Structure 1
Amino acid sequence: MTLPSSFLSCPTGLRRVAGALATLLGAAAFCAGASAQEAWPARPITIVVPYPAGGSNDVFARAIGRRLSEVLGQPVLIDNKPGAGGTLGTGIVAKAPADGYTLAAVSSSFVTNAAVQPRLPFDPVKSFAPVAMMAQGPFVVAVRADLPAKTPAELVALAKQRPGKLNYASSGPGSTNQFATELLKSSAGVFITHIPYRGMAPATTDLMGGNVDVLIASGPSLQPALRSGKVRAVGITSAKPSATAPELVPMAQAIPGYSFGIWWGLLAPAGTPAAVVQRLNSEINKIVEGPEMKAFLLREGAEPAGLTPAQFAAQIQREIPYWQKVAKDAGISTE
């Protein structure tokens, strides 16, 4: 179309042409963005596990990743990036493109780390978009097989009889294991010496070898040790009996008010499109509520959580100041 020269020389006409072009360009950009969003996922998705293979984060990420791959029609890759108590791998995801193709498999240690590490390479709230909880459950309180304590009451009584002589293992300073045990100690009024390890593997190995007395950890982390017969479970950390371990007595029966739970979830980089986050949340919630996955989670000592992204985000924001107070009261520090 040819416009009259008089129209083009008119400022009003020029503004109209410019406005029309801007509208057309904006519409084209919108359509391109919508098409890109509708195309997700168009390539493999990576779940970064910030711990070594074999731990609970890894176990759940692999189980859910396989099923997520089936429903999304794209490979879901697991990339173990251990280091710095989980902050190395999580930091990689914080800096990844916010396109829904890179996720972090985290657990409650994400908030306990945030409570005791003031110089994290990311903001635990602002750097991520919480996607979905994979599972939740209580910890198991385990002891070496020859320790003369088979119930929560017997363990508390033994700790009171031998103040400072019993010891407990953790996967490292500031770990959820340490938080769970220090909370137990303060609630029961007992003193048990802390022996930190570099990860769950050496901690469980020394528990099996009889070099430490107590280890409070997740069901997936303790299963091999418990099956070996060299370690015995004496209770669970939930306030009430749990379907994850119906044969175990809650520690709260011997320690009124004591309760500790762990969760596992997926985070995306902040700014990931809301539609992508919602799609992932919906698919993951359907996966964990399926009968096969629910049975798997129960065997591993966990249950579905079923939170929305907003609910998951609110829980993270709520837990960080709570564990900061616990850390201050118990003197928990990574330095």
Structure 2
Amino acid sequence: MPNIAVVPNTTSSRDILLLRLSILVGGVLIALFMIGDLQLIPRELAGAYITNRVLVQLPILASLLAVTFFSQFRNFAQTAFLGTVLALTYANYYVIHVSWAQAGFSFPYEGTLLYAFFGFFVFGMKFYYALTAMLLSSLGFIGLMLLDPVYGERTWMNAGFVVGSLFIGVIGRHRIDRLLGQLEDANEQLVALSTVDGLTDLLNRRALMSESERLFALQRRSNQRLAVFMMDLDHFKQFNDHYGHQQGDQAIRLQADIMRQVFKRQTDILGRYGGEEFMAVIEGEHSDRFEFLAAAVLKQWQERAVPNEDSPDSKVLSCSIGICQGLASEFDSIDDMIRRADEALYRAKKQGRARYVIA
């Protein structure tokens, strides 16, 4: 039975496009900061500053942009984000060090926070990657402050501010990840409620029809064989009236279990069509296989020998099956196949039940 589930939280093509645009925006921001910084820093630092921004930081962003075009980028995106943030951060530390060493100039440290928050919330770094970035960025900044007392008596106050701000950013990232996880879990539950029959854990009718139409269209395009099984429990009303609704529910669950034991392939579509009526839609190469599967369902019921005292026939619960099979291209729609299978099921009932009839 095919799995219907929420698509995992992965990077979609639209996300990749937005990411590329974000990287370009990041490059534009660095260029704009250059304009402001060049008016702020001493002239003797201009060459080193421009070299750092143009030949180091912008190429780092360009490298990230380039790797987004790799087909396997989704598999290492988080590592690429972490590497980019750390590379930009330490490139900025170098500017701070050079500014102090060459001109005694206290270059602003805010870029450290900007790069980290850009990674946390724009790139969407996961919690553990964000935590790693915070720790390594903090250690680097503390090491820089030990090497150069850039900010005088406010050096360690600024170091505490940087570490604290990065910590707050990581906590924010953690809460976002937790909320997204809760949302994904809730979404999966909603999908299950909207697609799975609560009593049998098979597909409900709406999902059954949707999946059946999908398989029919696929088989029709490739001109492959398809079969629709309509299955109905015989004299189920008498069974339900005699033994009660709880035993009736047990019988319905038993039918679902038998179907799962017989129709084992991942591509087999199994569902509860309504009440005590079930449907299976499967692909296959030969009609003999379809007859074999129908006979297997009937044999399972014979072996279980569930009593049905009020049955006018065999006094045990049984199942009747109608089958419509053939090349998908021979039919107008999946509804056409279901209608023919239902007619075959009606004939199986008329012929004495506990049997299958092929349309």
TM-score class, shorter-chain normalisation, is: under 0.3
Larger radius of gyration: 2
**Greater relative contact order (CA < 8 Å, ≥ 6 in sequence):** 1
Q: Which structure shows the bigger proportion of residues in strand conformation?
A: 1
Q: Which structure shows the bigger proportion of residues in helix conformation?
A: 2
